[in-house]
């Protein structure tokens, strides 16, 4: 089991970094990616260049790993970026960057890695989504949509791979204490905007949730469990209890009541 070759996108910080270190310490061979691998030193694992918004860099990175290690047993599609913007004031360049990073890029990685997994008819793909993908969160419309999209994509892929020994699963974290808030794409909302005060409140709330979130090591432990799971389920969650319960609460409550709870939670009224 411990001879597995694990490819983790976005391993320079946060969940990706923590998971890469954790897996190396537990005997796995890990290769991580970053857009700026030379910025980092003394990592316990090699970091190679890959930018999800650049197709060519994806094929090159996957080829580099295969040429050296002759296998990719586990893909952890982790790299991603968050975004805060009023839907009405969403900048199209930002929208494109986010969708390329959180949706098109990870699909492209999967397409390249699947060719390698097919050779052994074996492998595991763990897509890091978000509990934000289960809810249309205020001022995170594009982020929520990108994660919902990867959720549906993963469900389809699972069915298409049903007769193989290649398993795809989704792990949706809630608030995890990483640099995601400082790396987030933020819309510039002017004081004259109708959204100025609700947007400002929601942004400070979402950033506070990250500060109070669970440690990334908790996600790393969950990821190893999924690697060891013979046939993982379609979806898993990790993070603060209330956030993990939110999809269940959404399912149980009348729709308008649930919406009211979300509005209160984000200080929208």
Query: Measured at CB, which residue is nearest to ligand NAP?
Result: 14
12 is catalytic: yes
96 makes contact with ligand NAP (CB under 6 A): no
DSSP 8-class letter at 133: G
59 makes contact with ligand NAP (CB under 6 A): no
The mark string for 133-172 relative to ligand NAP (x by CB under 6 A, - otherwise) is ----------------------------------------
Q: What is the DSSP string of 64-88?
A: HHHHHHS---EEEE-----EEB-GG
| Candidate residues 5, 23, 31, 79; the one interacting with ligand NAP per rule CB under 6 A | 79
CA-wise closest residue to 116 among 76, 70, 153: 70
| Candidate residues 23, 86, 101, 169; the one interacting with ligand NAP per rule CB under 6 A | 101
Q: Extract the tokens encoding 235.
A: 């979806």
Beta-ladder partners of 128: 171
Beta-ladder partners of 123: 166
143 is catalytic: yes
Cβ-contact 40, 47 below 8 angstroms: yes
Cβ-contact 12, 80 below 8 angstroms: no
232 makes contact with ligand NAP (CB under 6 A): no
CA–centroid distance for 156 within its chain: 18
50 makes contact with ligand NAP (CB under 6 A): yes
Catalytic residue among 100, 124, 147, 237: 147
Least distance to ligand NAP, CB of residue 84, Å: 13
| Candidate residues 22, 30, 31, 34; the one interacting with ligand NAP per rule CB under 6 A | 34
Residues serving a catalytic function are: 12, 129, 143, 147
């Amino acid at each position: 089991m411990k001879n597995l070759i694990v490819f983790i996108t976005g391993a320079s910080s946060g969940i990706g970094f923590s998971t890469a270190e954790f897996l190396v310490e537990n005997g796995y061979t890990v290769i991580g990616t970053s857009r700026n691998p030379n910025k980092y030193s003394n990592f316990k694992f090699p970091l190679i260049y890959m930018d999800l918004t650049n197709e060519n860099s994806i094929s090159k990175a996957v080829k580099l790993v295969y040429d050296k290690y002759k296998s990719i047993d586990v893909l952890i599609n982790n790299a991603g970026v968050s975004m805060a913007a009023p839907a009405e004031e969403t900048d199209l360049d930002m929208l494109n960057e986010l969708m390329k990073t959180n949706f098109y890029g990870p699909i492209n990685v999967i397409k390249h890695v699947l060719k390698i997994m097919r050779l052994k008819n074996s492998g595991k793909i763990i897509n890091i989504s978000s509990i934000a993908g289960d809810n249309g969160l205020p001022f995170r419309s594009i982020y929520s949509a990108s994660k919902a999209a990867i959720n549906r994509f993963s469900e389809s892929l699972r069915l298409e791979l049903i007769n193989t020994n290649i398993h795809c699963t989704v792990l949706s974290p809630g608030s995890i204490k990483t640099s995601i808030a400082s790396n987030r794409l933020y819309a510039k909302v002017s004081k004259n905007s109708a959204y100025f005060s609700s947007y400002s409140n929601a942004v400070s709330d979402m950033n506070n949730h990250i500060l109070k979130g669970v440690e990334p090591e908790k996600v790393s432990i969950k990821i190893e469990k999924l690697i060891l799971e013979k046939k993982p389920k379609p979806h898993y969650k990790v993070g603060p209890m209330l956030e993990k319960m939110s999809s269940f609460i959404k399912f149980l409550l009348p729709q308008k009541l649930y919406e009211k709870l979300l509005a209160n939670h984000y200080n929208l009224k």
